Amino acid sequence: MATDVIMPALGVAQEKGTLLNWLKAEGQSVTKGEPLMEVETDKATVEIEAPASGILTNVTASVGDEVPVGNRIAVILAPGEVATPAAVQDPHPRPLPKGEGISQSRPLSQRKETGEGLPLPQGEGAREGRHATSTPTPPAEPAASTAPDGGRLLASPAAKRIAREKGIDLATLHGSGPEGSIIAEDVLRAAAGETSPHVEPSGAKVVVPLSPMRRIVGQRMTQSKQTAPHFYVSMDIDMTAVSRLRAEWKDRGENSVPSINDFILHTCARALKDFPSLNSTYTEQGIMMHADINIGTAVALEEGLVVPVIRNADRLSLVELVGQSRELIDKAQKKKLFPLDYEGGTFTVSNLGMFGADSFIAIINPPQCAILAVGRVAPRVVAEGDAIAIRSLMTATLSADHRVVDGAVAARFLQEVKRLLERPDL
């Protein structure tokens, strides 16, 4: 009996998915449960398993195609079965239950070791004028992933793809992205020094297609600003004690030293226990108070923004929170988050301090009712009685939904966050 291969639903709000790579060619035999294709959503790249054993036929989606959830993109015929009109006619969309068919038994790293079905770089593979084809993309020589000093070389998927196409060794470039990572613009600048770049006619406009992640970020932030009446409360927080604690941990040679952001996440989780209205959601029926405190931390990617969630953060010690935070951030940067990793957040922290921002205001991440924006920790001159002193200060700004909370509640919450950070009791 023929089995349809459909575009699966990997998230609650997902409407479409982008086919990144076929791991089997049309006409090849497949076994139920083995990796069949890779799909990119607005949050992650996920390996999808074959739903049945047989022969892969009637492939209708090509690499780079954006396909609505539930649409059929191929058919698997049982061994010995011959394709019939009934077997290949368009079915009614039947979305795959969320998470079903996701391969977790064959990590990408294992397939790279054997050279089996290497996928396209994340976010790449759009048609860009190519003719559609149902054959899998042949493996390409990977771009350099090791820095000259033997350490790990950080480069975005787009940068790796362009480097391969233009024959540029990433190890020879200096990155301008976060933590010195190499981004697409770095490779393009290097290529321009070797070949004459194409000069657009004067006044020509270039339209850059929206990535799935950029599109969903735009939709959700527009929804938030149009429906939630934002108000903002700012406060300066003395981070001298936290900075001293971090220095002591480093001096002791601790393996995992909490970052400034880890301290903030841990503190917010503790403070929210006393301010449940900030851990809630506005609905037409009333204010939904969440029993769990699930803290999201905004992570900037080249393609957009993603917010992985630390669940039950108020029940974690600082050390436990550090471990979960780093694991989620690493998965986010590799676009390997699963829906459980980024759904169900009840409060978000957005930190631009590592980029040198002194302060900023953030847009609430719906359906949440508040988000805390924090800037860098920097030395400032402050008054201490009749004298002056230099302290490490940080500006925090809370954005809140006025339908749910008022200014006094928001200010008291920020006061509690300030108190806990200025006198950290770990």
Candidates 131, 266, 290, 402; catalytic one: 402
Residues 6+ apart with CB under 8 A from 330: none
Residue 366: count other Cβ atoms within 10 Å of its Cβ: 16
- CA–CA separation, 339 and 40 (whole Å): 12
* 92 catalytic per annotation: no
For the chain, the distance separating the N- and C-terminal CA atoms, rounded to the nearest angstrom, is 61
- CA–CA separation, 150 and 159 (whole Å): 20
For the stretch 394-424, what's the b/e string if a residue is b when 16 or more beta carbons lie within 10 angstroms of its beta carbon? bbbbbbbbeebbeeebbeebbebbbebbeeb
Closest by CA position to 53, among listed 84, 81, 92: 81
Residue 380 in tokens: 């400032």
Closest by CA position to 143, among listed 155, 127, 126, 128: 155
Residues 6+ apart with CB under 8 A from 113: none
- CA–CA separation, 364 and 353 (whole Å): 18
With both helix axes pointing from N to C terminus, report the angle between 260-272 and 318-333 in degrees, rounded to the nearest 10.
Answer: 120
Long-range CB pairs of 130-133, under 8 A, 24+ apart, other chains included: 132/62, 132/65, 133/62, 133/63
Helix spans in 118-274 (H): 157-166, 184-192, 212-227, 240-251, 260-272
The residues carrying an active-site annotation are 402
